[in-house]
Structure 1
Amino acid sequence: MPGRRCFGIKIIVLSVLAFTTLLFIYPFPDTKLLFKQASRLLEGPSASDLCACPAQCVAETQGHQWFSERFNRSVYPLLTKENYTLPKDAFNWWMRLQSSRSGANFSHVMKEVFSMFPGESLYRDAGPDRCRSCAVVGNSGNLKGSYYGRMIDSNDLVIRMNQGPTQGFEDDVGARTTHHLMYPESAKNLDPETSLVLIPFKILDLQWLLSAFTTGHIKQTYRRVLPTIQADRAKVQIYSPVFMRYAYENWLDKHGRYPSTGFFSLMFALHICDEVSVFGYGADKRGNWDHYWEHNAGAGQYRSVHGGDHEYNITRYLATTNKIKMYVGT
């Protein structure tokens, strides 16, 4: 028996020495992640198993009653070629958002859309080995002089929206864009590295997407739009009307007519990211709702159509409860 015990002790000592040697030869890139994974093996599963981030995971609901009453991880933010059929109530709600002269059939248009664009089921890799950091960059004038650019670009994903430019404003808003959310009336050309995420408010918006990558025959919706667009069609994604309704009802309690692109972008990030930082939301410190690259004459319309004050209050509350980080700029 003593011999067996000594032999067992020798095996343990040799195993520890071998593991220590491996650490020096093949060092782990993230020491915090290593200790978190080791703790998980010793303590068993916990709420922190939702992600590998050293701080709190966005999807954590334990101890956050207000958040847990609103956040539903099962609501997927994108349409896919396997699942683009809309429940009748969600479809009827979506069809009332913007009037459209298009008499096209939604299902027929979606089949055509996903014959041209991938329609893959993305971002479903959440789990204890993922820590995806995301920056959501709004268009507020409070970004001017903020020097947030380097911080924004350090995130895994950088989500922008509408007409927001980067060229000439890199010090304040960064240079990288992984996802750009837009609708036809706010469309712009994108770099090949950027995913175009279309927010459709009507069937005509989906038809415009098809046209913009082919014939360019749709030049006007309720106003003139870009007839063609430069972007990588392999990276085009379609925001789900079901998710739009979820953002409007679960999170905004039906304030305004429908959410803004900024709020849709924030909701998108909450569901595909583990850490979310928000930049360029709200007015500047003088109460102006300008864009960082121009004077925004349509600020009043934003606040009346979208319930901008309520959206901003919800965003601020997410920050005060440490679900997101919010940078208010200048």
Structure 2
Amino acid sequence: MKSKERAIVSLLCATTICVSWRGFRSCSPPQDQRPCACERCLSKDDPCFMKRFNKSVEPFLSANYNLSEDDFNWWKRLQHEKGNFRTFRATVARLFLVIPLSPDVLEPSPDRCRTCAVVGNSVNLRRSHYGPLIDFHDIIIRMNAGVIKGFEADVGTRTTHRVMYPESSVDLDNTTHLVLAPFKILDLEWLTKALTTGFKGRSYAPVMVLNPAFIRYVHHTWLENKGTYPSTGFLALILALHMCDEVSVFGYGADSDGNWSHYWEKIRNKKFKTGGHPGNTEYKLIQELDQQQKLKFYTGF
């Protein structure tokens, strides 16, 4: 009788282990079935995150991408563009005569962990000593006129991608990808001229242009149409979620007094906020993504 009881107990234990193992495997697929080699990959298993994150959205324009007229009409209202859809398409066609036909991106792989550092321009970077940590990442995205020289200990030394628009443009070396954030047809014309007649005497690594449909997606899906349109910094952050498997975020948010200022400047206008950008909404979303472990947010001081 006792031997029969032991057999039943053994059978129950074996069944429990098998059920538990199947449950574990359904949550944590084997390495060769995972989309990346990181400890944690962006996953469709998280319904809260996937409610916003749309993998099918094309972040960059390419020669084969056809922007819809509806997306164009939304985009043209951002800065009161007067050109029509035909003018836009002709301008894009001319642009792809001088830039690569498709974006130069690091593709996902089960045996690779693509790490991104998104480096904002907040004064919170000052005295942070994040420089070595930032430089450790595969892809380092900066935006606009973010200064490196003199601040290397806090912001690092490397840049692989710089997101900017013409009014905030800086000279780049030939190892840094220019990622243009266009808000009007004139921005696309500026890029064509910059690459054909020269821009401050330097050449660029492969150039990439943010898709107006991607800008709309960030504004509508992520920011729920708050503000006029997303900040360059927030566009860069969502872009990183689409380009990388692990994302670290540095240099975002207002200072301890609520001022939105740059780490390389001494603030003069202490009433300056974020213009048409929903800064507080963007900051809260970054905090939320950090809590969901979809990115790592380094707040500074």
Q: TM-score range by the shorter chain?
A: 0.7 to 0.9
Alpha-carbon distance, 1:61 to partner: 2.8
Q: Out of 278-287 and 103-112, give the one that drifted further.
A: 103-112
Assess, with a 3 A threshold, how the Cα gap between structure 1 residues 125 and 299 changes in structure 2: closer, same or farther.
farther
**Contact 2:123 / 2:251 at 8 angstroms: preserved in 1?**
yes
**Contact 2:178 / 2:205 at 8 angstroms: preserved in 1?**
no
Assess, with a 3 A threshold, how the Cα gap between structure 1 residues 130 and 296 changes in structure 2: closer, same or farther.
farther
Distance 2:127 2:210 in 1: 32
Matching residue within 268, 289, 293 for 1:322: 293
Matching residue within 43, 58, 62 for 1:60: 43
Equivalent residue pairs, number: 274
What are the within-5 Å matches in structure 2 for residues 1-330 of structure 1? 45=30, 49-54=34-39, 56-57=40-41, 59-62=42-45, 64-83=46-65, 85-100=66-81, 105-123=87-105, 125-215=107-197, 228-296=199-267, 303-330=274-301
Assess, with a 3 A threshold, how the Cα gap between structure 1 residues 82 and 260 changes in structure 2: closer, same or farther.
same
What is the TM-score with the length of structure 2 in the denominator? 0.85
Distance 1:165 1:141 in 2: 12
**Contact 1:51 / 1:131 at 8 angstroms: preserved in 2?**
yes
Q: For residue 18 of structure 1, what is the aligned residue in structure 2? A: none
Gaps of 5+ in 2: 1-24
Distance 2:270 2:221 in 1: 25
Assess, with a 3 A threshold, how the Cα gap between structure 1 residues 53 and 249 changes in structure 2: closer, same or farther.
same
Alpha-carbon distance, 1:102 to partner: 5.3
**Contact 2:159 / 2:176 at 8 angstroms: preserved in 1?**
yes
What is the TM-score with the length of structure 1 in the denominator? 0.77
Assess, with a 3 A threshold, how the Cα gap between structure 1 residues 299 and 268 changes in structure 2: closer, same or farther.
farther
**Contact 1:48 / 1:60 at 8 angstroms: preserved in 2?**
no
Alpha-carbon distance, 1:162 to partner: 0.5
**Contact 1:141 / 1:291 at 8 angstroms: preserved in 2?**
yes
% same residue: 48
Alpha-carbon distance, 1:301 to partner: 6.1
Assess, with a 3 A threshold, how the Cα gap between structure 1 residues 313 and 166 changes in structure 2: closer, same or farther.
same
Q: For residue 7 of structure 2, what is the aligned residue in structure 1? A: none
Residue by residue over 1:235-265, the C-alpha shift from the partner in whole angstroms, topping out at 9 and shown as x without a partner, is: 1111110111111111000000000000000
Could you list the runs of 4 or more consecutive aligned residues of structure 1 that deviate by over 4 angstroms after TM superposition?
Answer: 43-48, 101-104, 296-302
**Contact 2:118 / 2:142 at 8 angstroms: preserved in 1?**
yes
Distance 2:100 2:180 in 1: 13
Distance 2:291 2:33 in 1: 20
Q: For residue 20 of structure 1, what is the aligned residue in structure 2? A: none
Assess, with a 3 A threshold, how the Cα gap between structure 1 residues 326 and 189 changes in structure 2: closer, same or farther.
same
**Contact 1:118 / 1:234 at 8 angstroms: preserved in 2?**
no
One-letter amino acid of the counterpart of residue 140, structure 1:
S
SS of alignment partner, residue 306 of structure 1: coil
Distance 2:126 2:106 in 1: 35
SS of alignment partner, residue 276 of structure 1: strand
Residue by residue over 1:25-75, the C-alpha shift from the partner in whole angstroms, topping out at 9 and shown as x without a partner, is: xxxxxxxxxxxxxxx9xx965797021112x11x2131x222110101111
Residue by residue over 1:111-153, the C-alpha shift from the partner in whole angstroms, topping out at 9 and shown as x without a partner, is: 1101001132443621312201110000000100000000000
